[in-house]
Amino acid sequence: MALITVDNQVAEKIRNLAGTLDMTDGELLRKIFIDKDLSSKQTQTPSPKTKVPVLRHNKNLKEHDLIDPILYVLHTHGGSAQKSFVDNILFSRYQAVFNQPYYKEYVAHGVPRWKHFIAWAKEAAKQKYSYIKHPSESGRGIWELTDKGKEYCEKKFNYIET
């Protein structure tokens, strides 16, 4: 086993993200650099000029409302990510909504409503808008932006102040 040295700020970020995803630090780093092979992809860090999608905090949330947050996660993580990673990031980001009893209820196939909504939103992004690739192109359990999805994200989430 090799040891690496990182500054305290980086170590804290790794620990926090790993904890959010219920992983060890090593598992997180393996997912980032080995399993997803992000070493060959450019991971995009949100800039101060990036628009972050916001969710409404009520029961009237629809699956469609989650399309932009899903696309944002994919866009800011190199254009693709595992389904479980997207679920965890969205749950972490929108805990105030998803921790409400309505979203914690189990629905079809024993899945919490919030996860069900994310899955349906991904399907709409794929089938209705062609923003996400079919699993036959990206791999089972991997959500990847199409060229149309990348173009949409560039316009929607990045802007230049004039």
pLDDT bucket at 159, cuts 50 / 70 / 90: low
pLDDT, greater one: 156 or 131: 131
- pLDDT higher than threshold 80 for residue 132: yes
Taking the C-alpha atoms of residue 128 and residue 149, their distance in angstroms, rounded to an integer, is 12
Three-state secondary structure along the chain?
A: CCCCCCCHHHHHHHHHHHHHCCCCHHHHHHHHHHHCCHHHCCCCCCCCCECCCCCCCCCCCCHHHHHHHHHHHHHCCCCEEEHHHHHHHHHHHCHHHHCCHHHHCECHHHCEHHHHHHHHHHHHHHHCCCCECCHHHHCCCEEEECHHHHHHHHHHHECCCC
Mean pLDDT, to the nearest integer, of 4-31? 75
Q: Please, which residues have CB within 8 angstroms of residue 30's CB and are 6 or more apart in sequence?
A: none
- pLDDT higher than threshold 90 for residue 130: yes
pLDDT tens per residue, range 19-72: 666 667 777 777 777 765 443 344 444 444 456 676 655 557 788 899 999 999
Question: What does the pLDDT read at residue 51?
Answer: 61
pLDDT, greater one: 148 or 17: 148
Strand partners, 50: 158
Q: What percent of the chain has pLDDT over 70?
A: 78
Question: What does the pLDDT read at residue 26?
Answer: 77
CATH number, domain 43-157, options 2.40.128, 3.30.70, 1.10.10, 2.60.40: 1.10.10
pLDDT bucket at 135, cuts 50 / 70 / 90: very high
Question: What does the pLDDT read at residue 21?
Answer: 63
**Which residue is it, tokens 């932006």?**
145
Question: What does the pLDDT read at residue 35?
Answer: 66
pLDDT tens per residue, range 110-129: 999 999 999 999 999 999 99
Question: What does the pLDDT read at residue 41?
Answer: 41
